């Protein structure tokens, strides 16, 4: 059966009972030329552990875009970052829908079989997975809807195409059901309409027209809390329409709920009563221990004491069951203490941020480093500068060719950070997700036209809540410590939410205990002027717009507090100048590129070997990029190249830019009355003689000059083929 739904700016065509009929639920979704298969399968036996055993796998088939996988093995292998992150989005959106006590191993598989370059695969994948789950025999009776919101020309757009999204200042992905929000991912995007200004001459003695195209972003897109609430409200209205449309279209095709058993919230009420009667104060004392390890150790001791008691022996209570119920009892105490007493386990108020210490450039051989410590969470964040060849290459189904990513963020979470002796493994979904969040937060603050590739790595050394936000804070300062002139400092703070009946509490800077026992994990990052990225997950049910707004404004207070501390640390940064690589970017006459290369590449090879640098040339623009580990050698290579492009006359002396063998050399102190030929923001070019121009910098001008003006000048400096002038 085929069902066509027109909702939220796109037509979705679903095939039901056509493919994968042995799965618990399956649909084939088509949006334009994109075709996605979503399936749901479950086991009949519950797991013994107390958790929801849900796995989600989003897979992109290369044939969907008419490609054969690259590399030695010509088939799809491990998932790429985009696939992993999309799997997480689907998981986080659908997990809250499962009923309490559901413990049957369940797998959702989403496969992209055909790809349209204009269709948003993440939106289509979530909606396909949601419909497949809704149609299955699993007792999930509400349909999730995912939407993306763009912001173009000061207007919100629902589900923009991929080309439209490139023009947007906002990328907001929201999933929800009916009027409840379940998951939010947001990032601000660099906007082509942003105010841009020309970079003042990479080499001021070269014709400024050769430097056209080099622009620096002087501002960054940030969103105020009010505008974010408006955007999320806009998304919520679309989600309500989508959810209602799905339920109306598919409610008659849904399979009958399977007869399943659910685990009780507390498996043994007698143990819970025993703990409440005899160990309540001991549990409270354990909860309010400052150290995470001390708290866990104390709770373990309590479980052992109960297991060794005469009552436990007589009743046959085993230690595992006691520990399980003790954990649930502990959760109840934590939540009640916060709601009723506004007191947290470590003694903080609801809005209080843990103590912060910051050290920068503690690694003498690294380009930039920052040790950011907040409470018992500690991140060592390191920045490395590279060249274009160091950029990360990515292949996406919706892009024609490989794309180069010059800003990378890697997040590592070793077991010792939480006191575990676990083996070091390749980054998993959590590591990739946290790294992606930190990257999205910092990306707007980085100059997109920087000649450097930037890799930021966060090594989590200690963790007790919100290590991703510590990575954002440390990352922003590590960039500054590496001499990268970011537009603004960016900080992040993790918020928590506790619901008990008709009461709720918003927590600033949550620790691990509050994350584990709370109902919401809400991370907000940005500058003093607004939000650059946020991420929200709801564990049970949804969240109203009013509560979300309260959390956003409380997060703003926490973020501003952290940024003030970061600014003080920024003012004390001492840059490791001696270890920073040097990169020179300048332009020459495009016709001179062949002279730099030399016959069969001989000249450029000699330069590379002599000065120990790498050189990139752009024949069309006349752009020269030199990179090396030592500043002196890079500058020497630049001077050498400039000499090649500006022939020296026989007999020595400085000749200028033009080839004229009868030119008399210029000397410092020579005086001229010249005409202003060109006006630039940094000064004016004045004709001297024999077709040679000199630069009078704006700092040496007593009043503005225009083209054609006559002015008396004298030569003040001759260097690297350049003539600098003073007023005479």
Give 412's strand partners: 459
Say whether 485 sits in a helix, a strand or coil. coil
- Cα separation, 164 vs 31, whole angstroms: 17
* Structure-token match 């003694």, residue found: 347
**Strand ranges, E, within 61-190:** 106-114, 145-152, 155-158, 170-177, 180-188
Q: Two tokens at 476?
A: 């922003």
Contact 449, 215 (CB under 8 A): yes
Tokens of 379: 């991140």
**Is 521 labelled as part of a ligand binding site?**
yes
On whether 50 is known to bind a ligand per the annotation, the reply is no
Total residues found in the chain within this entry: 728
Q: Which of 319, 453, 432, 450 shows the shortest CA–CA distance to 386?
A: 453
Kindly tell me the sign of the dihedral angle through the C-alpha atoms of 18, 23, 25, 26. negative
User: What is the crossing angle of helices 429-442 and 467-481, to 10°?
Assistant: 50
Q: How many CA atoms lie within 13 A of 396 on its CB side?
A: 19
Paired residues of 448 in beta bridges: none
Please work out, in degrees rounded to the nearest 5, the angle formed at the alpha carbon of residue 432 by the alpha carbons of 462 and 499: 70
Do 525 and 473 touch, CB atoms closer than 8 A? no
Query: Sign of dihedral through CA atoms 83, 86, 92, 95?
Result: negative
Q: How far apart are CA 384 and CA 407, in angstroms?
A: 10
Are the C-beta atoms of 236 and 174 separated by less than 8 Å? yes
Distances (CA, A) of 214 to 483, 566, 613, 617: 20, 31, 23, 15
**β-bridge mates for residue 393, sequence order:** 404
Can you list the alpha helix ranges (DSSP code H) found in 50-187? 81-94, 121-135, 162-165
Binding site members for Mg(2+): 515, 521
Binding site members: 515, 521
């Amino acid at each position: 059966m085929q069902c066509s739904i027109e909702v939220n700016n796109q037509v979705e065509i679903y095939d039901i009972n056509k493919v994968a009929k042995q799965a618990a639920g399956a649909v084939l979704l088509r949006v334009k030329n994109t075709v996605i298969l979503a399936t749901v399968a479950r086991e009949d036996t519950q797991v013994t552990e107390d958790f929801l055993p849900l796995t989600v796998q989003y897979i992109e088939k290369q044939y969907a875009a008419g490609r054969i996988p690259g590399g030695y093995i010509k088939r799809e292998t491990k998932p790429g970052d985009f696939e992993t992150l999309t799997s997480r989005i689907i998981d986080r959106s659908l997990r809250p829908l499962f009923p309490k006590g559901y413990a049957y191993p369940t797998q959702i598989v989403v496969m992209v079989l055909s790809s349209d370059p204009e269709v948003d695969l993440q939106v289509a994948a979530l909606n396909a997975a949601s419909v497949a789950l809704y149609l299955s025999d699993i007792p999930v009776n509400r349909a999730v809807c995912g939407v993306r919101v763009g912001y173009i020309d000061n207007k919100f757009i629902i589900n923009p195409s991929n080309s439209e999204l490139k023009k947007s200042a906002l990328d907001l992905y929201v999933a929800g059901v009916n009027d409840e929000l379940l998951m939010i991912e947001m990032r601000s995007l660099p906007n082509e309409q942003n105010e841009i200004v020309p970079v003042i001459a990479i080499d001021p003695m070269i014709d400024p027209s050769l430097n056209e195209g080099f622009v620096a972003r002087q501002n960054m897109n940030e969103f105020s809390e009010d505008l974010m609430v408006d955007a999320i409200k806009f998304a919520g209205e679309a989600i309500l329409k989508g959810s209602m449309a799905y339920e109306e279209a598919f409610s008659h095709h849904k399979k009958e709920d399977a007869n399943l058993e659910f685990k009780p919230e507390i498996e043994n009420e007698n143990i819970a009563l025993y703990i409440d009667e005899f160990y309540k104060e001991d549990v409270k004392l354990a909860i309010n221990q400052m150290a995470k390890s001390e708290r866990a150790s104390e709770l373990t001791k309590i479980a052992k004491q109960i297991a060794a008691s005469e009552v436990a022996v007589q009743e046959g209570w085993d230690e595992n069951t006691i520990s399980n119920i003790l954990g649930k009892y502990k959760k109840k105490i934590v939540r009640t203490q916060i709601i009723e007493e506004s007191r947290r386990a470590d003694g903080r108020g609801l809005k209080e941020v843990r103590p912060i210490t910051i050290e920068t450039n503690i690694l003498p051989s690294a380009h930039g480093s920052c040790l950011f410590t907040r409470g018992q969470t500690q991140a060592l964040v390191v920045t490395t500068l590279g060249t274009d060849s160091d950029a990360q290459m990515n292949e996406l189904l919706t892009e024609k060719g490989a794309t180069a990513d010059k800003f990378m963020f890697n997040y590592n979470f070793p077991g010792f950070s939480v006191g575990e002796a676990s083996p070091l493994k390749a980054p998993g979904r959590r590591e990739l997700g946290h790294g992606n969040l930190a990257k999205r937060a910092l990306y707007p603050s980085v100059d997109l036209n920087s000649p450097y590739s930037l890799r930021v790595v966060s090594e989590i050394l200690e963790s007790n809540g919100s290590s991703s936000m510590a990575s954002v804070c440390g990352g922003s300062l590590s960039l500054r410590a590496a001499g990268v002139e970011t537009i603004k400092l960016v900080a992040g703070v993790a918020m928590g939410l506790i619901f008990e009946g008709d009461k709720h509490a918003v927590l600033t800077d949550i620790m691990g205990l509050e994350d584990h026992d709370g109902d919401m994990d809400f991370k907000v990052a940005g500058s003093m002027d607004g939000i650059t990225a946020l991420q929200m997950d709801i564990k049970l049910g949804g969240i109203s717009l009013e509560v979300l707004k309260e959390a956003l404004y409380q997060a703003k207070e926490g973020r501003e507090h952290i940024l003030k501390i970061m600014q003080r640390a920024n003012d004390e940064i001492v840059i490791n100048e001696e270890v920073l690589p040097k990169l020179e970017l300048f332009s020459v006459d495009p016709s001179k590129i062949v002279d730099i290369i030399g016959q069969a590449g001989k000249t450029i090879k000699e330069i590379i070997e002599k000065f120990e640098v790498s050189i990139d040339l752009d024949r069309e623009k006349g752009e020269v990029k030199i990179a090396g580990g030592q500043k002196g050698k890079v500058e020497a290579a630049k001077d050498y190249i400039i000499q090649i492009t500006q022939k020296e006359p026989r007999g020595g002396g400085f000749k200028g830019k033009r080839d004229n063998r009868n030119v008399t050399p210029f000397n410092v102190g020579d005086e001229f009355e010249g005409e202003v030929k060109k006006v630039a923001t940094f000064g004016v070019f004045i004709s001297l003689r024999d077709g040679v121009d000199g630069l009078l910098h704006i700092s040496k001008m007593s009043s503005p000059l225009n083209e054609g003006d006559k002015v008396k000048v004298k030569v003040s400096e001759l260097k690297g083929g350049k003539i600098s002038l003073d007023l005479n």
